[in-house]
Amino acid sequence: MRTLNSDELKEAETSLYAHLPKAIKVYGFVFAMNRGKPNTLEILVDSWPAFTTIIVRPDPNNGRAKDFMKKVTLYSTDEEVLRRMLTVENAIDWSTYFLIGARGVRMKGLSLVHLMTLPEPGHLLQLITR
C-alpha cells in the first residue's frame, strides 16, 4: 500500500481517465486535488505505477479531516487486491462512513450526471470567436 504524492497524482489522473465512466468518483477527487482544491484526503494505491486498486480516504495525519464528512471512495480492477487492502492492510478506518456500490443491487437514484471532456482546450477558443 502506498500513498501518492502530487506528481504521482497527475499520473494517476491520466490512468483513471482511461477507466471512465466506471472510475468517475475516484477520478473526480484526483482531478480536484490536481487543480489545487483544498482537501483533507489522501490517495492510496496497491502498487505504483501499475496500480489495480485506488482508494481515496480521509488523511489520518490531517487534524481537520475529522471536521468534515469522512468520505471513502475506491476503484479496483482486481477483486483479490481490493479484498487484501480492505481486510489485511487496513486501508479503511471502519468507524467512518463507507459506501460500496455494486452491480445488481436495487437502489434509489438521486441524480443523473453527464460527463463531457474537452481534450484540446484550444478548440474552445475557436468556437467562441466564430
Please report the DSSP string for the chain in residue order. -EE--HHHHHHHHHHHHTTTTTTHHHHHHHHHHHTT----EEEEESSSSS-SEEEEEE-TT-GGGGGS----EEEES-HHHHHHHHHTS--S-TTS------TT--------------S-THHHHHHHH-
The pLDDT assigned to 89 comes to: 81
- pLDDT of 91 reads 80
Residue 57 has a pLDDT of 86
Residue ranges in the chain modelled with pLDDT below 70 = 66-70, 96-113, 125-130
What pTM was estimated for this model as a whole?
A: 0.73
Residues across the chain: 130
- Residue with grid cell 504521482, as numbered in its chain: 8
pLDDT at 126: 64
